[in-house]
């Protein structure tokens, strides 16, 4: 049986439309006009226990709404949803005890309390036994080096420190599912790596099912085997990252550092993408020309300092997918 199952979830929001200007504001008092936004339009997917899935899409696509439905915060208009056989919004309290949630832009820690007191409070709120709690807390602290932060009030933490504490806070009650809504937003490179490393270990070693929404494609590349793309409230793609890439484009990038800045490269099998100084980005289709053949042809012809082949950045793949579905 799958761990999480969504079937045709629909969620609409009614938003008051305001006309611009003073007259508009006045008009709004007398008669409100509403427009309906379909945040989720028949969203369906299933996750197996222990999966780590990336959930991506442009702003306003419905990512956070999905997470909020799964965590029992929002009640959908129609459709079915179960986590471990429980309907999140009908069985909100039992479901809440079984899941962990991190909304990256907000903290669940008490702003004025030292970190350790927030943790203790969460122990009581989740009714975790003191033995289980101490074990979970110490493990999490060891993984993310939290102990030096215990006595610091949350408001004095850096964003990276806060996110590590927030991740731990979501896991003290040993949930079987973790929803991460943009956990790396605003973090510096080192903190991002720490957070990613932690999520990976959590998933591999403890088998926690993770749903990760993000705009950072490096998160996806580093962590997720499976990627779901959502746009306009619909799932546009649900596959492995490689399949997604292959489906959207077969192209490869050829990046060349020239010895001579004035030089250009012309070859029938490559097309020009961009140039900065003596670095040139080209692209080619590996179905039309063999990579090795292409490289030897070019190195024979031009004076080249360095050369490497890359997949197009995942950002571009996603951006093309959005274009296909007219998401801009």
Partner 1 sequence: MNPSFVLPYTAVLSARFRMLLQYRAAALAGFVTQIGWGAIRIMAMEAFYRSTTAPQPMNLEEVVTYVWLGQALLGLLPWNPDTEIRNMVRSGTVAYELVRPVNLYTYWFSRSLAFRIAPTLMRSIPLAMLALLFFGMQPPASPESLLVWLAATAGAVLLTTALTVILSITLMWTISGEGVAFLAAPIIYLLAGMVIPLPLFPEWAQFILEMLPFRGLCDAPFRLYMGHISVAEAWAVLLHQWIWIFILVGLGAWMLSRAKRRLVVQGG
Please tell me whether residue 163 binds partner 1 under the rule CB under 8 A. Answer: no
Please tell me whether residue 119 binds partner 1 under the rule CB under 8 A. Answer: no
Residue of 8, 12, 13, 38 interacting with partner 1 (CB under 8 A) = 13
Distance of alpha carbon 93 from its chain centroid, rounded? 26
Within the chain, what is the greatest distance between any pair of CA atoms?
76
Please tell me whether residue 298 binds partner 1 under the rule CB under 8 A. Answer: no
Please tell me whether residue 93 binds partner 1 under the rule CB under 8 A. Answer: yes
Please tell me whether residue 87 binds partner 1 under the rule CB under 8 A. Answer: no
Which residue, 111 or 308, has its beta carbon nearer to partner 1?
111
Please tell me whether residue 237 binds partner 1 under the rule CB under 8 A. Answer: no
Please tell me whether residue 105 binds partner 1 under the rule CB under 8 A. Answer: yes
Please tell me whether residue 64 binds partner 1 under the rule CB under 8 A. Answer: yes
Other C-beta atoms closer than 10 Å to the C-beta of 29 total 7
Q: Which stretch binds partner 1 (CB under 8 A): 121-129, 157-165, 233-241, 268-276?
A: 121-129
Which residues inside 172-231 make contact with partner 1, applying CB under 8 A?
A: 181
Q: Which stretch binds partner 1 (CB under 8 A): 90-98, 244-252, 255-263, 316-324?
A: 90-98
Please report how close the Cβ of residue 144 comes to partner 1 at its closest, in angstroms.
20
Please tell me whether residue 150 binds partner 1 under the rule CB under 8 A. Answer: no
Please tell me whether residue 101 binds partner 1 under the rule CB under 8 A. Answer: yes
Q: Which stretch binds partner 1 (CB under 8 A): 46-54, 65-73, 138-146, 259-267?
A: 65-73
Residue for token digits 């596959």? 239
Which residue, 7 or 91, has its beta carbon nearer to partner 1?
91
- What residue ranges bind partner 1 (CB under 8 A)? 13, 64, 68, 71-75, 92-94, 96-97, 99, 101, 103, 105-108, 110, 112-113, 117, 121, 124-127, 181
């Amino acid at each position: 049986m799958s761990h999480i199952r969504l079937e045709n979830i629909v969620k609409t929001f009614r938003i008051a439309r305001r006309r611009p200007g003073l007259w508009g504001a006045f008009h709004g008092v007398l008669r409100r006009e509403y427009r309906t936004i379909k945040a989720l339009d028949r969203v369906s997917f299933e996750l197996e226990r222990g999966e780590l899935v990336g959930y991506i899409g442009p702003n306003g696509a419905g990512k956070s709404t999905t997470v909020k439905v799964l965590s029992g915060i929002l009640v959908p208009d129609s459709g079915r949803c179960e986590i471990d056989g429980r309907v999140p919004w009908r069985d909100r309290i039992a479901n809440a005890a079984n899941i962990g949630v991190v909304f990256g832009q907000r903290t669940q820690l008490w702003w004025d309390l030292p970190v350790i007191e927030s943790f203790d409070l969460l122990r009581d709120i989740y009714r975790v036994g003191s033995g289980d709690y101490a074990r979970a807390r110490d493990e999490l602290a060891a993984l993310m080096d939290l102990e030096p932060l215990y006595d610091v009030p949350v408001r004095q933490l850096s964003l990276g420190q806060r996110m590590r504490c927030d991740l731990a806070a979501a896991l003290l009650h040993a949930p079987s599912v973790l929803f991460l809504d943009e956990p790396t937003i605003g973090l510096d490179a080192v903190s991002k790596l720490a957070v990613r490393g932690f999520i990976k270990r959590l998933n591999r070693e403890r088998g926690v099912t993770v749903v990760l929404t993000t705009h950072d494609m490096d998160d996806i590349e580093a962590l997720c085997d499976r990627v779901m793309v959502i746009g306009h409230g619909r799932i546009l793609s649900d596959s492995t990252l490689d399949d997604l890439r292959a489906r959207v484009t077969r192209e490869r990038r050829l990046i060349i550092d020239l010895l001579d800045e004035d030089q250009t490269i012309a070859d029938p099998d490559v097309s020009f993408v961009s140039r900065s100084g003596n670095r040139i980005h080209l692209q080619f289709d590996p179905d039309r020309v063999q990579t090795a053949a292409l490289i030897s042809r070019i190195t024979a012809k031009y004076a080249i300092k360095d050369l490497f082949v890359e997949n197009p950045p995942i950002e571009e793949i996603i951006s093309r997918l959005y274009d296909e579905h007219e998401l801009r």
